[in-house]
Amino acid sequence: MDEDDPMSRNYLTAALLAGSVCAVPLAVIAQDIPPDTVWKLESVAGAPVNGDVTLQIGADGAVSGNASCNQYAGTNSATLPEFLLGPVAATQMLCPDMSTEMAYLAALELITRAEIQDGMLVLSSPDGAQMVFAPSE
């Protein structure tokens, strides 16, 4: 490549820019959502939740937690506060009451927004339903 040739410089610049764009993660944590904080589910649609349901959102968009019985993991492929959870993988232990877990995982698939409100993590779906999480201690 001839460094004095303007075409060669343009191709090099384009290649560098393409490499830079590809290096950016698909999901970027909004500055007000602390990455890797473990959040405990407090309520769904205003109703308190019984059980140990947690959520963690990594800086790279990784989403994981405990769905009350099983551990789960997936990836947020949107840039927060937008939320688009890809396929969720979960362990397959059978517990006496699977209803909380099944309802939670089904609701999680409908979430389109994640944001902090008054120190709580609020996940919202397009129909206005919300899941509210408190930071775990």
Least trusted range by pLDDT, from 15-19, 96-100, 107-111: 15-19
> Does 47 map to a domain?
yes
Residue 1 confidence (pLDDT) above 60:
no
> Does 130 map to a domain?
yes
In tens, the pLDDT along 43-55 reads 998 889 878 999 9
- Do 126 and 83 touch, CB atoms closer than 8 A? no
Q: Which domain holds residue 101?
A: 26-135
Rounded to whole angstroms, what are the CA distances from 41 to 1, 28, 119?
57, 22, 13
In tens, the pLDDT along 75-84 reads 999 998 999 9
Percentage above 70 pLDDT, the chain: 77
Can you tell me which residue has the tokens 């990784």? Answer: 62
**Cα Rg of the chain (Å, integer):** 20
Percentage above 90 pLDDT, the chain: 57
Q: How many domains is the chain built from? A: 1
- Do 68 and 96 touch, CB atoms closer than 8 A? no
Kindly report the pTM of this predicted structure: 0.74
CATH number for the domain that contains residue 42:
2.40.128.270
> Does 61 map to a domain?
yes
> Does 105 map to a domain?
yes
